[in-house]
Structure 1
Amino acid sequence: MVRIIFGLTFVLSSFVFQAQISSKYILSFENAVHHEANIQANFTNLKSETATFRMSRSSPGRYALHEFAKNVYNVKVTDGKGNELIATRPDPYSWEVKGHDGTIQVSYTLFANHGDGTYAQIDETHAHLNAPATFMYVPELEHQEMEVTFKLRDDLDWKVATQLKQQQDQTYYARDLQYLMDSPIEIANFRTRSFDLKGQNIVLVLHDEEASDSELDMYFEKVKKVVLEQMMVFGELPTFDYGEYLFLACYMPNASGDGMEHRNSTSIPSSRSLTQGGMDGNIGTVAHEFFHCWNVERLRPKSLEPFDFSKANMSGDLWFAEGFTSYYDDLSLVRSGIISREEYLKGLAGTFNYVWTSPGRQFFNPIEMSYQAPFVDAARSVDETNRENTFISYYSYGSMLGLALDMFLRAEDLTLDAYMRSIWKQYGKPETPYTVAQLQQSLSDFAGQQFANDFFGNYIHKSGMPDFESLLKNMGIILETKDAIDFGAMVRSQRLVNNPKMGSSAYKAGFQKGDKLLQVGAVMLDGNVSINSVLSTFKTGDKVAVKVERHGSEKELSLIIGTEISYKLHYMEGSAKEFTKKIKEQQADWLNSKV
């Protein structure tokens, strides 16, 4: 009698669990050679008279619109008994059907051939799937459980890697739409390496057909160093769902370089094999994306929660979410010894020059720069923009703000590491989304109200430039400024390939993108001559006639030779009198490993 009751209870509990799964998908790849997947979706528990199913228009970690519906076709719909239903199109990314019986069965073909973190790619090397680019969904069912089954081809030796929970064989589970859409999938003949860290499994999944096992081992050692170094910033790992974090590394020539953070995994495709430069060239993406498992995935802007798949997602917090992450990616590489201090400073100098010489700061502060993401984050447009003069990447801008805040805090015997730990405990670990005002209040609690007001007032809500000369000198780094003759626009094969920089010689003289430079003074130009090298034969302030070809006609412009400021960073000499013991200790505390 006990056995019968137990059996009945098990059957009923299984039935209840299965009844909660209202969206089921089956994917097969018979026509992978032509970049197609066949997808069957079964949607049940429908209550609305008119059932709507759709493709996403955006993807977690991206902020622009991406019309994934353009790559689905051969759409067919039946009810639960197999009776054909007629689908109508209320808009370009949705379908509607009436007369269903609480269930609709949708089949469609997906074309996919862009292997980055946003789209999907299917061929006979892999099925690289970003969920929003792959799965139709029913908005009515978004809070209910979902299941995905992959029918793998025996001839391709494919396996599945994903943060989705494996149910059995090739069937995987997501608790709701948000989780499904945040779960990238790599299906390929990949290799893995893993290590246990405080009871959780950190896994590198590598799809790279050129790399040897020894190269994989060497690369995995770098990955481990990154993981350990970044864990020290926050003092602990996040609690990963199902106790595992996956690096989905697809280093194939048909992939596109990218990195996309997700809750318990990251998609990090690149066209560079470990054998062909990826050993050094790809590790920076690993560092950036893993830091996101704290900053963005759990320490999350309120403006992105919940993520809306029906529209572009705008946030004013990307200077912190993406920018501070960018500050820490290279910092973790130098701390772990993966890059040298000289390499770190060279990269820092490049970003420093890009941000602080840009005219864009006169138009937008860091919050407003973040608002530009829907227009620049892998967005597409056919019309010209003036972003050379109006936009600074929130990755780079935020990275420099992270540097500034770290330097400011260290001058007060505090550190950015400690501030990140404090807001992790306040907002990240309990997964309470934050606002900019709350970040400011947290900084006030951490370093004092006046400190926080000054930093946010001058550099976040305004576009001021900190006194980096003093700040960096305290850390044993010399900041030098230099003026050099500069045209003010990039020239290739004698043509201007971008809009002239506001305030530059080219801008003031009225040059335009597309102009072909023919003659500067008495010098006839050819495609091999650098315009700045020609201009350097003159003196600052000289007026020079420049002949150009514009729209098929010749035109003469009057150019006044001008200069452009640039910044150079270098470490203090070890024997320099100003390189005191205190500064050496401060520099070491900043750049040395914490492991």
Structure 2
Amino acid sequence: MKLRNLTIALLSFLAISLQAQTYNEYELSFDNAVHHEANIKIKFSNLENKVLEVRMSRSSPGRYAVHEFAKNVYNVKATDSNGKALPITRENPYQWNVAGHNGTVNFEYTLYANRAGGTYSGIDESHAHLNMPATLAWARGLDQRPVKVKFNVREDRNWKVATQLKDLGNNTFYAPNTYYLMDSPTEIADLYFRERNVDGQTIRLALHKDGTTDAEVDAYFEETMGIVMQQKAVFGELATYDFGQYTFLSCYMPNASGDGMEHRNSTYVVSGLAVERPLASTSMGTMSHEFFHNWNVERIRPRSLEPFSFEDANMSGELWFAEGFTSYYTGLMQARSGSISTDQYVNGLGGSVGYVINAPGRSFHNPIEMSYQAPFVDAATSIDPTNLSNIFISYYTYGSVLGLALDMSLRTMDNGKNLDDYMKYVWEKHGKTEIPYTVRDLQARMAEYAGESFANEFFGKYILDSQMPDYANLFKKMGVTYTNRAEGRASMGDNIRKQREGWQLTGNATVGSPIYKAGIESEDVILSLAGTVLTDDSNINEIIAAHKPGDSIEIKYRKIWGEEKTSKLTLEEAQAWSTGMDANADAKAKARREAWLRKR
């Protein structure tokens, strides 16, 4: 097996060497940035004598839904090496077929880009904010060729380039293949740079924010590095970056679209921030989340995302782990580094746990099946109403509370086990080796780490099924209180608000709630509640507060077709779960809590 792998490696190296001089060459210019346009030229050379299929992507690394990037491409032209115009035909909305070339195709188009986020691109006179699948076309069959990209920057705007692409000088950059190119977001602006060497590799911040100061940037970088070092402590080492550098691409501009998107050696962290607002700790939670991804999802990689398709949606049943466990560590790493206080962190846990426990979606899907919903919810667009509020729980939140439960379960066994060391073990088995995993692999690694009985019970109940751990008991053993702040207060289970048509639900009726059982839906207009006719000045909270859980009240409402109805509504106890430091915890619980939250 070792000899076979060596042979394959040598053949691959030879193949790459033979084609090393044939690059796909890109050139981007931004002369009309004021109107959100870029001019993009691509040279495809040394082509076979057949139709060249040029495409825009329909999906983007870190996203799972389909996005139609081709809609913003126009003024498309193609010529051969002699400047002769070539015929272009359209087989589908995402593709341009170029025939009759002489072995070279110069492909040119205009790109419109006006949404600076993690998924789309945004171009104006302040920056060129480029997510590559939303920016660059590519050719089928040429995806293994190396790539050169030349950025004609706006020198009048003092633009500089930040990207994970390898810098060749003169604003020209290199990618080993099309996949790496598509995975390499690029921020071109008047940037602030900060960097630090950690174990022979560079951690770099490239920050775009007008109206900030060097002192603010220095403080921001130090806060970021505190998180970086705490995450390194979990895994025992940094990942190995392909060109020795990891870059935070942080864009905080008034017209930016809030987002965070992980990539192999960089991340886009974006927020709409007014120029006059101080930098402070803007999006620091997102910085924490995305950096954790350079281990968990970029290298500890679900098999279901290999290979990633740029032509269709990407579905994975492991997002509860890839995104959810990363979400668990997001705040924990901030707490350990001092970015937030341990009190802030602990106080924020109860709401998420209470939400997942009480969400009706667990009756429909377990965490794996929730992960399968990503192509429909991950910035996906549709115009028809859905019932997602009843059938879906975000795999970010669901996975984060399961990560919390697993960590507490391991720690309360008092045998030295914890989630940090399990993550490090998975890193050694699947991350450093870059062997993609399945859910069964994660269960097998847990069996090896904590015992087969524990692994089978945890995965059997909470991953393969949708049962919930005993959080009250786990929190108590960790020195954390877990209480319902709304104990004894009555609730209808859903919110109603004065809207254009009258008093209506703010969303779909929640399965199992008093409102749901009464047969009322979001389009119905509620006329009276507990004998009180609702007017513009009505206070719903006061009406409900006059009753207690278990009381039955009358509700009158009008259907959309005009029929008026009356139902009985039995009030339930309101749910508002909170957590906090338990001052009365015993010595063991306090010791566990300290070991969990302390700085490494």
Structure-2-length-normalised TM-score: 0.93
Q: Give CA-to-partner distance per residue, 1:298-341, whole Å, 9 cap, x none.
A: 11111111211010000000000000000000001111122122
Distance 1:234 1:526, change over 3 A: farther
Deviations, residues 377-407 of structure 1 (Å, cap 9, x unaligned)? 0000010000110000000000011011101
Residue equivalent to 2:11 = none
Alpha-carbon offset, residue 557 of structure 1: 3.1
Partner of 1:10: none
Could you tell me which of 420, 427, 434 is aligned with 1:431?
A: 434
Matching residue's letter, 2:450: A
Residue in structure 1 matched with residue 458 of structure 2 by the alignment: 455
Q: Which moved more, 1:141-150 or 1:276-285?
A: 276-285
1:20 is displaced (CA, Å) by 3.4
1:229 to 2:234 alignment:
no
Q: Aligned match of 1:489 in 467, 491, 494? A: 494
- The one-letter code sitting in structure 1 at the alignment partner of 2:515 is A
2:83 and 2:525 mapped to 1: Cα distance? 64
**Structure 2 unmatched ranges of 5 or more:** 1-13
One-letter code aligned to 1:485: A
Q: Distance in 1 between matches of 2:351 and 2:21?
A: 53
- Shift of the 564–65 alpha-carbon distance from structure 1 to 2, 3 Å rule, reads farther
Distance in 2, matches of 1:573 and 1:346, equals 11
**Higher deviation after alignment, 518-527 or 16-25:** 16-25
Q: Distance in 2 between matches of 1:516 and 1:262?
A: 47
Query: 2:475 touches 2:481 (CA, 8 Å); kept in 1?
Result: yes
State the partner residue of 1:513: 522
Alpha carbons 2:491, 2:549 under 8 Å: kept: no
For residues 475 and 112 of structure 1, the distance between their equivalents in structure 2, rounded to whole angstroms, comes to: 49
Corresponding position of 1:6: none
Secondary structure class of the residue paired with 1:438: helix
CA distance in 2, matches of 1:199, 1:108: 41
Moved segments of 4+, more than 4 Å: 15-19, 527-530
Shift of residue 294, structure 1, vs aligned partner: 0.5
Q: Is the 8 A contact 2:116 2:129 kept in 1?
A: yes
Partner of 2:586: 580
**Matched residues in 2 for 1:140 and 1:564: separation?**
61
CA–CA distance in 2 between the matches of 1:292 and 1:561?
46
Structure 1 residue matching 2:38: 3-state secondary structure: strand
The amino acid that maps onto 2:310 is F
How far residue 48 of structure 1 moved from its aligned partner, in angstroms, is 5.4
Structure 1 residue 554: deviation in Å?
6.2
Amino acid at match of 2:299: R
Query: Match of 1:504, as an amino acid?
Result: S
Shift in Å, 1:542: 3.7
State the one-letter code of the partner of 1:491. I
Q: Is the 8 A contact 1:40 1:106 kept in 2?
A: yes
Structure 2 residue 147 is the aligned partner of structure 1 residue 146: yes
What is the Cα deviation at residue 505 of structure 1? 1.1
Quote the offset at 1:246 in angstroms: 0.6
State how far apart, in whole Å, the 2-side matches of 1:528 and 1:287 are.
Answer: 44
Alignment-mate amino acid for residue 575 of structure 2? S
- Greater shift, 268-277 or 227-236, is seen at 268-277
Shift of 1:281: 4.3
Per-residue displacement from partner, 1:44-80 (whole Å, max 9, x unpaired)? Answer: 2322511100000000000000010001011111122
Q: Retained in 2: the 8 A contact 1:129–1:185?
A: yes
Superposed displacement of residue 240, structure 1: 1.0
Q: Which residue of 1 aligns with 2:403?
A: 402
Identify the match of residue 482 of structure 2 among 471, 474, 479. Answer: 479
CA-to-aligned-CA distance 1:487-527 (integer Å, 9 cap, x gap):
22232323322001111111111221133333223323345
2:75 corresponds to? 74
Q: Identify the residue that residue 596 of structure 2 maps to in structure 1.
A: 590
2-side partners of 1:154 and 1:570: how far apart? 52
Alignment of 1:78-93 (within 5 A): 78-93=79-94
Measure how far apart 1:232 and its partner are.
0.5
Using the TM superposition, give the Cα deviation of residue 146 of structure 1 relative to its aligned residue in structure 2, in angstroms. 0.7
**Whole-Å separation in 1 of the counterparts to 2:375 and 2:530:** 44
Distance 1:67 1:204 in 2: 30
**Post-superposition offset of 1:549:** 4.5
Partner of 1:350: 351
| Residue of structure 2 in register with 1:547 after alignment | 556
**Pair 1:366-2:367 in alignment:** yes
AA matched with 1:253? P
Deviations 1:513-554 (A, max 9, x none): 133333223323345545343222134344433333443736
Maintained 8 Å contact 1:128/1:187: yes
Over 3 Å counting, the alpha-carbon distance change for 1:122 and 1:340 in structure 2 is same
**In structure 1, how many angstroms separate the alpha carbons of the residues matched to 2:568 and 2:34?**
56
Q: Is the 8 A contact 1:147 1:172 kept in 2?
A: yes
Q: 1:53 to 1:580 in 2, by over 3 A?
A: same
- What secondary structure is seen at the aligned counterpart in 2 of 1:259? strand
Which residue does 1:9 correspond to in 2?
A: none
Measured in 1, the distance between the counterparts of 2:554 and 2:471 equals 39
Distance 1:488 1:353 in 2: 14
The amino acid of 2:433's aligned partner reads: P
In the TM superposition, 1:87-106 aligns within 5 A as 87-106=88-107
Aligned-residue sequence identity (percent) comes to: 50
Q: CA deviation at 1:479?
A: 2.2
Indicate yes or no: 2:459 matched with 1:445.
Answer: no
1:194 alignment counterpart: 195
Partner residue in 1 for 2:567: 558
Shift of 1:483: 5.6
Kept after mapping to 1: 8 A contact 2:19/2:145: no
| Counterparts of residues 7-26 of structure 1 (less than 5 Å) | 20-26=21-27
Change (3 A) 1:233 1:528: farther
**2:329 is the counterpart of 1:324:** no
Bigger drift between 255-264 and 38-47 goes to: 38-47
Query: Which segment drifts farther, 434-443 or 478-487?
Result: 478-487
Letter aligned with residue 569 of structure 2: I
1:7-58 deviation line (CA, Å, top 9, x unaligned): xxxxxx9x97885343111100111111100001111232251110000000
Q: CA RMSD in A?
A: 2.0
Say yes or no: does 1:117 pair with 2:122: no
Cα distance between partner residues in 2 of 1:202 and 1:560: 58
**Cα distance per residue 1:107-151 (max 9 Å; x no partner):** 100000011100000011111000000000001100111111011
Assess if the C-alpha contact under 8 Å between 1:543 and 1:558 holds in 2: no
Q: What secondary structure is seen at the aligned counterpart in 2 of 1:84?
A: coil
Residues 348 and 579 in structure 2, CA contact (< 8 A), matched pair in contact too: no
* Residue 537 (structure 1) aligned to one of 541, 546, 564: 546
- The one-letter code matched in structure 2 to 1:487 is M
Local SS of the residue matching 1:465:
coil
Mapped partners of 1:108, 1:182: distance in 2: 21
Q: Secondary structure at the match of 2:173?
A: strand
User: Which residue number corresponds to residue 243 of structure 2?
Assistant: 242
Q: Give the letter aligned to residue 425 of structure 2.
A: S
CA distances 1:350-375 after superposition (whole Å, capped 9, x unpaired) = 21122111000010000000000000
- Separation of aligned partners in 2, 1:447 and 1:48: 58
Provide the C-alpha distance between the structure 2 equivalents of 1:17 and 1:218, rounded to a whole number of angstroms. 48
**Counterpart code for 1:537:** A
CA shift at 1:278, angstroms? 5.1
Aligned residue among 524, 549, 554 for 2:533: 524
